[in-house]
Each structure stands twice: as structure tokens, then as C-alpha cells.
Amino acid sequence: MPGGQHTWQEIMSQPAAWQDALGAFRALREKFAAFWMEAAPDQVIVTGCGSTYYLALTAARLLRRSGVDASACPASELLLNIDAICAPGRRYLLLTLSRSGTTSETVRAQERFKSRVGASVITVTCASSSPLAGGADLAFAIDAAQEKSVAQTRSFSSMAVIVQQMAAQLAGRRLTDSSQLPAVCTQLLESHAGLARALAENAAIEKFFFLGMDALYGIACEAMLKMKEMSLSYSEAYHSLEFRHGPMSMVGEDSLVIGLISPEAARHEIRVLNDMADMGATVLAIAQTRIENHQTVRLPADLPGWCTPVLYLPVLQLLACHRALVKGCDPDKPHNLSAVVSLDDI
């Protein structure tokens, strides 16, 4: 393979990484429950940079569906505009997300939050000895999910497994349902590798659009970022029905429109895909049900919705990796990027 060996291996090793993530949460489950009860937050702020900001979007929605008042913001916003985000008189909890645990904005935002707000901090990272983990009151670390590649794949999804478990526990859901996730990931990667390759090799496709709602919007954004980073391709992410309000003007026979279909809004989201197909776009749906007239990546129908967001991503990671190789890009080393953004003056 001309480059991309690390990325490919990291994508394909996600089932094992997810197993490690489930174990990491299980080991701290009781401590997390006690910590949360003591913190008793009025509001949770979830923050990160790049991929982990998109994970923060998903995490905040999952927490809200669990009855927790939660919002997401980029770490740079929290660092530089904390007074506009944290109001006086409220009990906050900060959830920080970072693969390396050394991203400058996230580390500094966590420090600023603790000094200014004085509230509790939980971090999810892939580096247990990092400054972010050391500065948190409670740290979930999945060291085995760390990567050699610049673009996040298994690290993102493993951290997503942790935040799904956190939200599910707070809602009193049956956590054993998530034990199926590693096996389902294996099945998705094996069953749809050919589809991902075929779409990536389709020379008629020049634009990629990823559509998702609610917790899946953050996943759509992450899929968009993977396509940009790895293959330097035109890619955008939108809330599913918002796509009609202007962005669909870009759609034509040179477009692949990918719908991350949620159970709650499936009927409306499928109509969007139908409209895009009528405009000449190639359409791919990822859903827990079969979608008539469109290529579909089927997710298990018997899994509860709270543990499925992470399952929408692996096939799209494969798509981005294949597209990079088709274009002669090395997905291990994206153009102009490094694995960690370190800033001396922030």
C-alpha cells in the first residue's frame, strides 16, 4: 500500500480499541457515579479542538437526551471567552476531550476553567500521563487507542464509546447493550469495505456531503473532517434538513450525499436523500433500517439508539482512507497538519 498503512491498521483495529474503552469505563463506573453525585452540576460544558470538538457536539446531545443540561464549545472559545460561557451562580462541570491530552487550547481552557469557575473537571483522553489527565478530577484514559497517524480514527471512536457510556449511565440505561459494539464494528468493516472502495474510486464524484441530526451531526462533521484531512477533497457537513436551505445548490452528478439516518427523524431525512438523488447525486444512507432505492449501510435494528452513534463512522473512515490513496495522498501524513497543535502564546 503506497502510504496509509498506519491509518488503515488503526481503522481496522477499532473493535479491540472499543473493547478497551468499555473496560476503561467499567473500571471507573462506580467512581464516576459517586463523583457525579457530589459534583451535582446544573450544567455540563463539553470542549475539545478539531475532531474532539465534533465529539463534544455529539457528547452534549447524548447528555441532554439523558436529562443533563449540556452544551459544547471549542476549547479556544472557552479559554478566550469564558465569561460569555459560564454565568455566575451556576454549578458547572467541565468535560474535556483530547487524544493527546496536550493540545494547547484544551489544556489552557481546563486550567482557566478551574481557576476562574472552580468547578469539577472530567477528561477523556488516550494519554493517561498527559497534562490534561493530570489536571482533571477524574480521567478516563484509553492508552491503547493512541495512534501513529495524524488524523484521528480509533482514538475518536474509542473516546466516543466512553462518552456514550457516561450518558447512558446517567440516564439509567442498560450498559450491557454496548457489549455488542466491537463485534458490530468488525462486521461493518468487513461487509462494507468493498462499498467504501467503490465509492472512493468513482472518478465522477468530486464533492462529499455528510448529513446528520442531533447526536449524529457531530459524527457527520467528523466524517467530513476525515475526508478533508486524508484526501484533500471538497467535503462539507450539515444538519440534514438544513441542507435544503442553500447548500443543496452545490449538488449535482459530481456529488456524493451521505445521510446518517436517525431513528427519530428517518422519514424526513430520507426525503432529503431522495431529493438529492433527483438532482443527480450519488446517495449513501447509513441507518438501522433498509432504505429503498439507495445504497445502505445497515446497522443492527435491535441496538438501542444511545449506543449507535459511533457505528456510523467506521465505513466513512474507510471511504476517506481509500479516497486519499486513489488521489495519491498519504492518509498517515495529511498536508499541513501535525498530530498535536502546540501554541506557545495562548
Which residues make Cβ contacts (< 8 Å) with residue 331, sequence separation at least 6? 3, 4, 7, 8, 149, 151, 229, 230, 231, 320, 321, 324, 325
Relative orientation angle of helices 14-39 and 5-12, to the nearest 10 degrees: 60
Are domains 5-179 and 182-326 of this chain identical in fold?
Answer: yes
Residue 333 · residue 96 · CB < 8 Å: no
Amino acid, single-letter form, for residue 270: I
Burial class (CB in 10 A: 0-12, 13-18, 19+), 338: exposed
pLDDT of residue 1: 46
Alpha-carbon gap, residue 320 to 316, rounded angstroms: 6
pTM: 0.96
In CATH, which of 3.10.520.10, 3.40.50.10490, 3.40.50.300, 3.30.1360.120 is domain 5-179?
3.40.50.10490
Residue 231 · residue 151 · CB < 8 Å: no
Amino acid, single-letter form, for residue 332: D
- Domain boundaries of the chain, sorted by first residue: 5-179, 182-326
CATH number of 182-326: 3.40.50.10490
Cell of 198: 467503490
pLDDT of residue 333: 82
Per-10-residue mean pLDDT, the chain, length 346? 83 98 98 98 98 99 98 97 94 97 95 94 98 98 93 97 98 96 98 97 98 99 97 98 97 99 96 98 96 94 96 98 95 68 64
Of 176, 142, 192, 146, nearest to 162 (Cα)?
Answer: 142
Which residues make Cβ contacts (< 8 Å) with residue 290, sequence separation at least 6? 296, 298
SS3 state of residue 234: strand
Calculate the CA 12 to chain-centre distance. Answer: 17
